[in-house]
Amino acid sequence: MVRLGDAFDRSGSVRRPAYGKLAAEPWSFMFYNPQPPDPAELPPGNGHVVLVVPAFLNNDLITQPLRRFLNRCGYRTFGWKLGINWGPTPHLLTELRRRLDECVRLEGGPVSLIGVSLGGLLARDLAHDRPDDVAHVITMVSPFRLPTASHLEPLFRLCAPFYIDAFDSVRLAAPLPMTSTSIFTRSDGLVAWESCWVDEPGGTAFELNGAHCTICRNPQALRLVAERLAETRANGASPCTPAEAHL
């Protein structure tokens, strides 16, 4: 087992993104606001429940454009409601599992998970623990194939002493027992794109254009997520009722 705080490459085989790409991230965050795809062009979600886990040092606000779009597509999409994602602390891991329980009860069966950046690591960890409750895992610019390299490493190391010792970072890249989708971009300015995807049975990796920090606004990403979730929806999702729309 490798502790997440020690999961950064020291051999030089995995490099941090170039500083030019890093500099483009804040520009993208401030000025990149494209129109999302037209939900009418995409398969309807039919009320399938989707739980979205935010990125490191972010909360549900960062995933709002993605969740709003998926709701317009007919999914019931929910944030994790746990505040800032500090990483795999005992509290956040416990509460994330309770949040999954709430979503499973609402769906009446397995739900889909979407994790953004570090949120994808938590989503894959959760899926390994609770395979009967998860129908599909989508990771977006998530460096789950360790070791990785990131400009966020110093901040991550500051938080690492608070992480749970039992968090098994080795199995994050192990094949999941359900459908999986990994989305990555070579323009990523925060984490090494090479660590954001892996071939696995039942899984598909997709390369898009765009920055790391605006992946939840990226029209290519939004369309792809909706299309991939449609596979889960086609396997049977419960209809939405007004009383269930607020979790």
Q: Is residue 246 part of a domain?
A: no
**For residue 110, what is the domain's CATH number?**
3.40.50.1820
Alpha carbon distance, N-terminus to C-terminus of the chain = 35
Residue 162's Cβ-count burial label (10 Å; 0-12, 13-18, 19+) is: middle
Cα separation, 229 vs 227, whole angstroms: 6
Q: Are 184 and 218 in contact (CB under 8 A)?
A: no
Q: Is residue 243 part of a domain?
A: no
Q: Is residue 149 part of a domain?
A: yes
Q: Is residue 43 part of a domain?
A: no
- Its pTM stands at 0.93
Q: Is residue 95 part of a domain?
A: yes
For residue 82, give its domain range: 4-34+48-235
The token pair that represents 192 in the structure block: 């090494």
pLDDT in tens, the chain (247 residues): 445 556 888 888 899 999 999 999 999 999 999 999 999 999 999 999 999 999 999 999 999 999 999 999 999 999 999 999 999 999 999 999 999 999 999 999 999 999 999 999 999 999 999 999 999 999 999 999 999 999 999 999 999 889 987 788 888 999 999 999 999 999 999 999 999 998 888 899 999 999 999 999 999 999 999 999 997 766 554 443 333 445 6
Spatial CB neighbours of 131, under 8 Å, sequence gap ≥ 6? 176, 177, 178
Q: Is residue 245 part of a domain?
A: no
Q: Are 39 and 67 in contact (CB under 8 A)?
A: no
Total number of domains in the chain = 1
Cα separation, 24 vs 210, whole angstroms: 10
